[in-house]
């Protein structure tokens, strides 16, 4: 099994999109990319921790490629809005790919370049591509939030 970590706005909808992929073994939502240890949702919402709301995806690379996961990431948010997705504003809602190894970094960078050159967006893609750091799991009530409430999605697009 491999891990992939993505930030694309509110983590509830992002998690639901990845959970719909049969080769995804598990997901967990949390906070990463910031400087505060053991952040809470309340901490992250202050927009002062540097953390992004993110989803850690455990997947079977024999059944789904990292490139395919990236396509789900790109398709489920607007990568041209800086620190914002729809009505959610703040650095915690930024678009970011947190790579776990050099191969993921290379595929992520190539994917971003390809998308930027595709003409799909009129504005520049602002998605950050950064090394994965400590992933702090969010509170239990955030895990599979939409699924627990019988909702299909809350993503912006």
Residue 43 in contact with residue 24, Cβ under 8 Å?
A: no
For residues 7 and 101, what is the distance between their CA atoms, to the nearest angstrom?
Answer: 17
Catalytic-labelled residue, pool 4, 7, 8, 10: 10
- Known catalytic membership, residue 10: yes
Q: In this structure, are residues 4 and 21 in contact, taking their beta carbons and an 8 Å threshold?
A: no
What is the CB-side half-sphere exposure of residue 66 using CA atoms within 13 A? Answer: 22
How many CA atoms, within 13 angstroms, populate the side-chain half-sphere of residue 82? 3
Residues classed as catalytic: 10
């Amino acid at each position: 099994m491999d891990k992939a970590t993505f930030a694309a706005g509110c983590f509830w909808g992002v998690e639901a999109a990845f959970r719909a992929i049969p080769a995804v073994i598990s997901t967990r939502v949390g906070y990463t990319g910031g400087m505060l240890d053991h952040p809470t949702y309340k901490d992250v919402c202050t927009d002062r921790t540097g953390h992004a709301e993110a989803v850690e995806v455990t997947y079977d690379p024999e059944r789904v490629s990292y490139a395919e996961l990236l396509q789900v990431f790109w398709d489920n948010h607007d990568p041209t809005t800086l620190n914002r997705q729809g009505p959610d504003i703040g650095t915690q809602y930024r678009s970011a790919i947190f790579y776990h190894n050099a191969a993921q970094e290379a595929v992520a960078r190539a994917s971003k370049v390809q998308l930027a050159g595709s003409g799909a967006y009129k504005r520049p893609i602002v998605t950050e591509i950064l090394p994965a750091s400590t992933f702090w799991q969010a509170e239990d009530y955030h895990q599979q939030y939409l699924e627990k409430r019988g909702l299909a999605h809350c993503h912006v697009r």
